Homo-oligomer: A and B are copies of this chain.
Amino acid sequence: MTATTERAQDTSHLDELAAQLRVDAVRAAAAAGSGHPTSSMSGADLMAVLLARHLRYDFDWPEHPGNDRFVLSKGHASPLLYAAFKAAGAITDDELLTFRKHGSRLEGHPTPRLPWVDVATGSLGQGLPIGVGMALAARRYDDHRPARIWVLCGDSEMAEGSVFEALEHAGHERLGNLTAIIDVNRLGQRGPTRHGWDLGAYARRAQACGWHTIEVDGHDVDAIDEAFARATRVTDGPTAVIARTVKGRGVSAVADREGMHGKPVPDADEAIAELGGIRDLSVRVQRPPAAVAQRPPEPRELRLPVYDQGSDVATRNAYGDALEALGAARTNVVALDGEVADSTRAEAFHKAHPDRFYEFYIAEQQLIAAAVGMRALGLRPFAATFAAFLTRAHDFLRMAAISRTAITVCGSHAGVAIGEDGPSQMGLEDLAMMRALPGSTVVYPSDGNATAHLVAALADAPGIGYIRTTRGATPVLYGPDEDFPIGGSKTLRSSADDRLTLAAAGVTVHEALAAADVLEGEGIPVRVLDLYSVKPVDTRTLHRAAADTGHIVTVEDHRSEGGLGDAVAEAFADGRPAPRLTRLAVGDVPGSASPEEQLRDAGIDAAAIADTARRLLG
């Protein structure tokens, strides 16, 4: 081992530092028996220069608001990141060699189990749109000298449309504190990329979106240093440093060869020797400037909107009203829109707090990615679009859950109840999608006051909080002082003689109530539950209903798979005796029709519920 305690800040040492990063990447992958050393080696010089000369980061205080942020968008190059953490003194060499092993923080792809990793990466094309959110948030802290966001992208991932959404948005917002570093090593997983070493292809796309671009030899540390310095000086827009690199650079057995993706180098010892042996350089990473004194948020009482019982209000309207109120009470709450704020009613927040409202146009991946990035810098984002279109951002929600990000997502225009617009606009799979995210909270209120309270509750929920809202107006069922704890439910009809239980949420609560009234008139008392908390669901109340009535009918404006019916079934999936269960849900592909006709056609309206109850009991 070539042990040296010399600092690697000097340019003369940058090549040595880069070599160390390569060696450590090779060592980590060899110890693991898997991993991506070749993808790490192409970016080693870029990382060495960034770490030693440009990044401003306090490893002892990762939340420092003045910290630059580094996002490894090409998350499979994690050995490079971990080698950099070692060089910066954040982890030991011993820990480096735990890479990919059971229990190690050094996972195959980076996750926030490491305090210096803000967001999980590994699904390509996510780092840059998340970086856009970070850059927007950093400007809020310090408009004059905002922290810089550095995102290291692979060339393969530039094919993802989400990257284009980020290029568009960053250019539009003139994010001078955002630098994309594109590691153009020419080789993807399967073979050559679409553009190979045509750096101009990437430059033209970025320029078309209003970016500055710098093309550079990605293995010339002086040229890289100058490129990063230029990027730092530019403040009127984002900069892409487009670097020509060689995959597997430095190890002749793998350099620029196909078929060498995602596996350890064939002979690690030989490779390490070729790279000049093991080093022990350490880097003193620049500290950020003293934290800008944050104006302490004035503590304000949350004054939620109030709706009169018996009046009609759309829960989407209540979402907008409540979000506006939440924004008044908490200065870190921001609202994000996908060009439908007039429909989701996030427009109310925009009117009241225009400086905390972010328009992302019709780009749902960027919408959710920005929320994730903003959350990493301490904001509390609420992102809203039609429930149907959240499916566009499913992979971003999945990765956000892996990051254990705490953001709130609102899906409006749920279900067939939207009416005439037809199936393309109907959120019918969103509960399945959001429930399956690990650590998520899913609520689906049936009235305005419930909506208001649940918006407030989600502002403190861990993980991804999802609120599903309805387009049309529905009767206000609850008083404004009613509590709506996460994991709770409301029992709207109940008697000792109940012969079955109707479990509903959102718009079907009103259908269930109407059905219960009809049945009551026929001498058939039934229990009605409003399961506004779909995940976690109120298992205690369900167990009691099962014991009391023996039969639960779930009614949902959603597919039968993965939604409310599944949530209720799961409450009995621990081996206990189960009640009889019946699911009423949307089976076929709807067409256009009025909301009432839609509910009828789907078999989830009051008449269908009453018929089902009669059939089951008769």
Measured in the bound complex, the distance between the Cα atoms of B588 and A113 in whole Å is: 13
For the complex, is A145 an interface residue (Cβ under 8 Å from B)? no
- Residues of A whose CB lies within 8 Å of any CB of B are 32, 34-35, 75, 100-104, 106-109, 111, 113, 120-125, 156-157, 159-165, 168, 172, 188-190, 193-194, 201, 204-205, 207-209, 337, 339-343, 347, 359, 361-363, 365-366, 388-389, 391-392, 394-395, 398-399, 401-402, 404, 420-425, 428-429, 432-433, 435-439, 535, 551, 553, 559-563, 565-567, 569-570, 572-583, 587-589, 591-594, 597, 601, 616
A589 and B402 within 8 A (CB)? yes
Residues on B with C-beta less than 8 A from A101 are: 592-593
A581 and B572 within 8 A (CB)? yes
Residues on B with C-beta less than 8 A from A587 are: 438
A161 and B164 within 8 A (CB)? yes
Copies in the assembly, this chain: 2
- 8 A-B contacts (beta carbon < 8 Å): A157-B362, A201-B208, A392-B395, A432-B561, A436-B559, A438-B588, A535-B561, A561-B567
Beta-carbon nearest neighbor of A424 in chain B: B122
A107 and B422 within 8 A (CB)? yes
A561 contact from B104, B347, B566, Cβ within 8 A: B566
Counting chain B CB atoms within 10 Å of each CB, which of A337, A363, A580 scores highest? A363
For the complex formed, measure the closest distance between the CB of A168 and the CB atoms of chain B, giving whole angstroms: 6
A591 and B122 within 8 A (CB)? no
Residues on B with C-beta less than 8 A from A395 are: 388-389, 391-392, 394
For the complex formed, measure the closest distance between the CB of A343 and the CB atoms of chain B, giving whole angstroms: 7
Beta-carbon nearest neighbor of A166 in chain B: B161
Known A34-B421, A156-B339, A190-B341; further 10 A-B contacts with Cβ < 8 A: A75-B424, A102-B593, A111-B423, A159-B168, A159-B361, A161-B365, A190-B359, A392-B395, A394-B395, A573-B583
B433 and A437 within 8 A (CB)? no
Residues on B with C-beta less than 8 A from A32 are: 420
Residues on B with C-beta less than 8 A from A573 are: 560, 565, 569, 581-583
For the complex formed, measure the closest distance between the CB of A373 and the CB atoms of chain B, giving whole angstroms: 16
A424 and B436 within 8 A (CB)? no
B423 and A100 within 8 A (CB)? no
Measured in the bound complex, the distance between the Cα atoms of B265 and A514 in whole Å is: 36
Counting chain B CB atoms within 10 Å of each CB, which of A208, A339, A576, A592 scores highest? A592
A575 and B429 within 8 A (CB)? no
A100 and B420 within 8 A (CB)? yes
Measured in the bound complex, the distance between the Cα atoms of B572 and A208 in whole Å is: 56
Measured in the bound complex, the distance between the Cα atoms of B426 and A395 in whole Å is: 12
For the complex formed, measure the closest distance between the CB of A328 and the CB atoms of chain B, giving whole angstroms: 22
A188 and B120 within 8 A (CB)? no
Known contacts A339-B189, A435-B561; is-contact A159 B551 (Cβ 8 Å): no
Measured in the bound complex, the distance between the Cα atoms of B210 and A194 in whole Å is: 13
Measured in the bound complex, the distance between the Cα atoms of B587 and A594 in whole Å is: 40
Measured in the bound complex, the distance between the Cα atoms of B581 and A546 in whole Å is: 15
Residues on B with C-beta less than 8 A from A398 are: 388, 391, 429
B562 and A566 within 8 A (CB)? yes
Residues on B with C-beta less than 8 A from A562 are: 432, 435-436, 561-562, 566
For the complex formed, measure the closest distance between the CB of A186 and the CB atoms of chain B, giving whole angstroms: 13
For the complex formed, measure the closest distance between the CB of A222 and the CB atoms of chain B, giving whole angstroms: 30
B337 and A190 within 8 A (CB)? yes
Residues on B with C-beta less than 8 A from A362 are: 124-125, 156-157, 159-160, 188
Known contacts A161-B363, A339-B156; is-contact A561 B569 (Cβ 8 Å): no
Measured in the bound complex, the distance between the Cα atoms of B337 and A278 in whole Å is: 40
Measured in the bound complex, the distance between the Cα atoms of B573 and A591 in whole Å is: 26
A583 and B559 within 8 A (CB)? no
Beta-carbon nearest neighbor of A360 in chain B: B159
For the complex formed, measure the closest distance between the CB of A444 and the CB atoms of chain B, giving whole angstroms: 15
Beta-carbon nearest neighbor of A172 in chain B: B194
Measured in the bound complex, the distance between the Cα atoms of B161 and A432 in whole Å is: 24
A208 contact from B205, B578, B589, Cβ within 8 A: B205
Residues on B with C-beta less than 8 A from A551 are: 575
Measured in the bound complex, the distance between the Cα atoms of B589 and A339 in whole Å is: 32
A340 and B189 within 8 A (CB)? yes
Measured in the bound complex, the distance between the Cα atoms of B165 and A324 in whole Å is: 36
A580 and B578 within 8 A (CB)? yes
Residues on B with C-beta less than 8 A from A589 are: 111, 401-402, 404, 438-439
B566 and A575 within 8 A (CB)? no
A429 contact from B125, B161, B163, B433, Cβ within 8 A: B433
Residues on B with C-beta less than 8 A from A121 are: 424
Known contacts A75-B424, A194-B168, A437-B429; is-contact A575 B569 (Cβ 8 Å): no
Residues on B with C-beta less than 8 A from A107 are: 422-423, 591-592
Beta-carbon nearest neighbor of A569 in chain B: B569
For the complex formed, measure the closest distance between the CB of A249 and the CB atoms of chain B, giving whole angstroms: 21
B433 and A394 within 8 A (CB)? yes
Beta-carbon nearest neighbor of A98 in chain B: B592
B399 and A424 within 8 A (CB)? yes
Residues on B with C-beta less than 8 A from A388 are: 123, 395, 398
A391 and B394 within 8 A (CB)? yes
